[in-house]
Amino acid sequence: MKSIAKEDFVLAMSPDHEAALRASSGETVMFEAYDCFSNTITTEEHKFSSVGWERINPATGPLYVEEAVPGDTLKVEILDIEIEDQGVMATEPKLGGLKGNITQEVTKLIPIRNQHAIFNDNIHIPINPMIGVIGTAPRKGNIPTGTPGEHGANLDCKRVTKGSTIYLPVNVPGGLLAMGDAHAVMGDGEVVICGLEIPAKITVKVTVLKDIKYPLPLLVDDEYVMTIASADTLDEASSNALKNMHAFLVDVVNMNPEEAGMLLSLVGDLKICQIVNPLKTCRMELPKWVLEKHHVTLQ
């Protein structure tokens, strides 16, 4: 199996990056990733402000997938997320959803034992390792890894986990896939600017799909198909995620627009992924059984 070391990372998604590794469609690749603080916070005396923005959200890669050309779709199957035995959280009074309520920079190291995050003596939280940053290069320009968009990147969607598959656009030759910012566990919203940040080894299978018209990014797991959208406001992000799922039902499942809208009002769930990045991110969840009832199988 091919692998990319954590030292090969980028801080922006860009068509101008040199590939850290090349792989063929169908290959499995392991991405070794720093935590979102570049592994620089090692004691509770180290604060968020000591890290520096030039070391926030490193994404390992990029990976050049040989057969990928602009207009293709990159299917990324997440086979495994192996995390270390300790994660870190940090607060910053000027950032996050609790500005004005949180007044101090506080760092908390949280050990992982028996598949639980030991938050304190009373609260042991089951882990659910996930990927915060996963994306391809945009068509042009340098977009910081901390900013989500149609190319993916810092989506901070807690359902990007082992066993899920994310479909991303190929905007440039090779796609230039990069990922990192793993969390041992995170709630929807990521309200204080972080989940339980942790170094990880992420194993994925990459496959190039031709002539696929899915709304992207598209995420699939055992239970749901999810459209993900990011925008300046939650209103815009939620509207875009909803419209993308509606388009999916019309274009892929072949439902008429009115029936598709009614169905989404009955069984669709519109949820917030994160509220703390430069753009806000929402997802629209559709139960996978809807596809099965219509005999639709995703590639």
Smallest Cα–Cα separation from 66: which of 57, 56, 76, 74?
A: 74
CATH number for the region 218-293 comes to: 3.10.28.20
Identical fold, 2-84+127-209 and 218-293 = no
For the segment(s) 2-84+127-209, the CATH number from 2.120.10.30, 3.40.50.300, 2.60.120.580, 3.30.1340.30 is: 2.60.120.580
pLDDT band at 126 (very low <50, low <70, confident <90, very high): very high
Q: Indicate yes or no: pTM above 0.85.
A: yes
Distance between CA atoms of residues 75 and 160, nearest Å: 13
**β-sheet bridge partners, residue 134:** 153, 179
Domains of the chain by residue range: 2-84+127-209, 218-293
Contact predicate 282/237, CB 8 Å: yes
Segment 163-169 shows an average pLDDT of 98
DSSP annotation of 43 reads S
Task: Dig out the tokens for 281 from the structure.
Answer: 């991110």
- Express each pLDDT in 60-98 by its tens digit: 999 999 999 999 999 999 999 999 999 999 999 999 999
**pLDDT on residue 53:** 85
Tokens standing for residue 175 = 């796609």
| Tokens coding 164 | 């899920």
Contact 34, 25 (CB under 8 A): no
Q: Output the six-digit token pair for 289.
A: 């059984």
199-216: pLDDT as tens digits? 999 999 999 999 999 999
* pLDDT at position 190 over 90: yes
**Each residue's pLDDT tens digit, 236-288:** 999 999 999 999 999 999 999 999 999 999 999 999 999 999 999 999 999 99
The percentage of the chain sitting over the pLDDT mark of 90, rounded to a whole number, equals: 98
Residues ≥6 apart with Cβ < 8 Å to 55 = 37, 38, 40
Residue 180 has pLDDT above 90, yes or no: yes
